[in-house]
């Protein structure tokens, strides 16, 4: 078996890859094949250090990229900005889902009020609690994502 750091790929022994075999492909033992196969499938990067193939720590997340010069995972400024924007978008989605779930929870009470019916004191308390919860959720500043403490609906 051979392994290429450049392509992070394995190449079977005895197969003819012709010009498709990367120039950096090196022969590896069966133990190395098993070790590096598990490492690659766990998000690790295989690199050479002092001529020895070595597995990195697992990639922290999809925003990190491999820095071949320093043999480490890095978070570029652009990737950090994308991560922040994705976290904000996720928080906005969570905010919308929480408000929609709360509105669904009180829809029968709203229907009763629209029909001119009187709510019981328990129903009024529940309605006010849910409306207070909706106010608390809508007041969340999603630009602080992922550091958001979401309010709990206590009904």
Query: Tens of pLDDT along the chain (155 residues)?
Result: 999 999 999 999 888 898 899 999 999 999 999 999 999 999 999 999 999 999 999 999 999 999 999 999 999 999 999 999 999 999 999 999 999 999 999 999 999 999 999 999 999 999 999 999 999 999 999 999 999 999 999 87
**Token couple for 26:** 């090196």
* Model-wide pTM > 0.85: no
Instruction: Report the pLDDT value the prediction gives residue 73, as an integer from 0 to 100.
Output: 98
Close Cβ partners of 153 (under 8 Å, ≥ 6 residues apart): 102, 105, 129, 130, 133
Instruction: Report the pLDDT value the prediction gives residue 13, as an integer from 0 to 100.
Output: 85
Q: Angle CA(8)–CA(31)–CA(36) in degrees, nearest 5? A: 25
Instruction: Report the pLDDT value the prediction gives residue 14, as an integer from 0 to 100.
Output: 84
Query: Which residues pair with residue 125 across a beta bridge?
Result: none
Report the phi/psi class of residue 140: left, alpha or beta, with left for phi > 0 and alpha for psi in -120 to 50.
Answer: beta
- List the one residue out of 66, 44, 41 whose CA is nearest residue 54: 44
What's the Cα-to-Cα distance from 150 to each of 80, 91, 153, rounded to whole Å? 23, 10, 10
């Amino acid at each position: 078996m051979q392994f290429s750091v450049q392509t992070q790929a394995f190449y079977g022994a005895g197969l003819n890859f012709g010009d498709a075999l990367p120039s950096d492909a090196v022969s590896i033992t069966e133990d190395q094949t098993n070790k590096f196969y598990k490492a690659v499938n766990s998000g690790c990067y295989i690199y050479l250090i002092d001529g020895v193939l070595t597995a990195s720590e697992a990639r922290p997340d999809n925003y990190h990229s491999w820095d071949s010069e320093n043999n480490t995972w890095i978070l570029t400024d652009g990737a950090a900005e994308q991560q922040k924007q994705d976290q904000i978008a996720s928080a906005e989605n969570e905010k919308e889902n929480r408000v929609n779930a709360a509105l669904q929870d009180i829809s029968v009470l709203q229907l009763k009020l629209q029909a001119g019916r009187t709510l019981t004191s328990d129903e009024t308390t529940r309605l006010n609690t849910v409306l207070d919860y909706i106010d608390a959720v809508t007041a969340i500043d999603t630009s602080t994502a992922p550091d958001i403490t979401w309010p709990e609906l206590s009904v």
